[in-house]
Amino acid sequence: MEKIPILTIKQQARLNRESIIAERRYLHNNPELSFKEINTSAYIKQQLTGAGIAWKQQAGTGITAEIHGGLGSSPVIALRSDMDALPITENTGVEYQSLNAGVMHACGHDAHMAILLGAARILQSMRDDFSGTIKLIFQPAEEKLPGGAKEMINEGVLLNPVPKVVFGQHVRPDLPAGKVGICKGLSMASMDEIFVKITGKGGHAAQPNTVIDPVSIAAQLIVAMQQVVSRFADPLTPTVLSFGKLIANGAINIIPDEVLMEGTFRTFDETWRYEAHKKMKLLAEHLVSSMGGRCEFTINSGYPSLHNDEQLCDTWMQYATDYLGEENVINTGKWMASEDFAYYSHNRPSVFYYLGVGNEEKHITAPLHSSNFNIDEDALEIGVGLMVYIALQELIHHSKTLINTNSFSL
């Protein structure tokens, strides 16, 4: 297969470095929550217009745009970024710290947007020399069900034109800057939200014989529910059940009338996922009832498991190895986190890869969704260059070398 001169792409990424960093810092300064990315959307549209790239709005604050090659409109590939931030109060102390109280880009979506904008500018400048269409997807609300990906797909983001493949990336602070990672096949878990209300009969803590104690019932239920993982799940199928919120609004001497529990269920097997839902609900209702209480058990089905197309992963790994060197391309394991990019992977051949942004020497080690999360901004240049190289090489792969590589020489 013909290859794009890598030094040319790296030079373009270097030339765009400062603007990419500035965009990331602006976006980090001005985070917005899921489905509320109004100013973020306006900023992205402004940048696309400035680069001469036409756009349209989808799924509320979402944006799609297309870069058309001068040598033909086929094939079509898609590049996706998410846009939303998290309800977290930032504690990094950086000069570009969030200006919106209680809202923070603690999952790196600011970097994702800046990288896709940088890649779009470079690809737009090269459009006369390739055949194909690059669809840009700036997607809202990755962090909140039902997820912006589902809404974008429902509104036709994968139609007219239909992309052959979809690529997405996510920053990973546990990977050093300069390295990238991927997991072939099943890569990220499904995610479902669990809400439990246990109703008993409150009263004085000194007279437990006169009450139906929902706190004691909740404690029993939390332990018993782990049977779903330890005894019902196939031990070869990764499964996680965690409860992170428990509200028992009594006091040292008051047993409350009710307890509220919230948790998450995650796995990689879609059939087992829905079997587990039934088992959890049945177990909860029977246990609570046997102890004299009443149980309302609700499961909100969230994102499905994310599947990286195996053949496309092999191709991506070759692109990444070409660009960064074999020593910088990591085979990562399955990750029990979830991502609504999974919806794209259930519709089109897709690859969701990881960009290393950690740096121990710079003390950039905080995990995702942490109030101290930050990235090594040197990774932005790497992320942009790699994305451009992947896009162009994938166009070559599908268009049988309808690319004028002579114009890319230094």
pLDDT in tens, 348-364: 999 999 999 999 999 99
- What is the signed CA dihedral for 354, 359, 360, 366, rounded to 10 degrees? -60
Neighbours of 223 (CB within 10 A): 9
Q: Which tokens belong to 25?
A: 């810092």
Which is nearest to 379 in space by CA: 179, 181, 183?
A: 179
Q: Say whether 372 sits in a helix, a strand or coil.
A: coil
Helices (H), 300-377: 310-324, 342-345
CA–CA separation, 271 vs 283, rounded Å? 19
The answer, as to whether pTM is greater than 0.95, is no
Asked if the model's pLDDT at residue 31 lies above 80, the reply is yes
pLDDT band at 405, cuts 50/70/90? low
Mean pLDDT of 237-248: 96
CA–CA separation, 387 vs 375, rounded Å? 18
The answer to whether 19 and 118 are in contact (CB under 8 A) is yes
pLDDT given for residue 398 in this prediction: 83
Q: Which tokens belong to 308?
A: 């990286």
Place domain 6-188+305-408 in its CATH homologous superfamily: Zn peptidases (3.40.630.10)
Which is nearest to 259 in space by CA: 201, 215, 193, 203?
A: 215
- Going from the C-alpha of 114 to that of each of 26, 57, 185, 210, 314, the distances in angstroms are 9, 18, 28, 61, 26
Provide the mean pLDDT of the chain: 95
CATH class given for the domain over 192-301: alpha beta
Mean pLDDT of 199-218: 97
Looking at the chain, the domain(s) classified CATH 3.40.630.10 span: 6-188+305-408
Looking at the chain, the domain(s) classified CATH 3.30.70.360 span: 192-301
Residue 185 carries which DSSP code?
E
Q: Which residues are catalytic?
A: 303, 377
Q: What are phi and psi of 322, to 5 degrees?
A: -55, -45
pLDDT given for residue 380 in this prediction: 98
CA–CA separation, 144 vs 8, rounded Å? 39
Mean pLDDT of 233-252: 96
Q: DSSP characters for 46-93?
A: HHHHHTT--EEEETTTEEEEEEE-TT-S-SEEEEEEE---BS------
- What is the signed CA dihedral for 142, 146, 151, 153, rounded to 10 degrees? 80
CA–chain centroid gap for 143, Å, is 8
What letter represents residue 64's amino acid? T
- Supply the angle between the helices 38-50 and 109-125 in degrees, to the nearest 10: 20
Q: Which residues pair with 62 in a beta bridge?
A: 58
pLDDT given for residue 402 in this prediction: 53
- Going from the C-alpha of 88 to that of each of 98, 100, 303, 373, the distances in angstroms are 10, 10, 22, 11
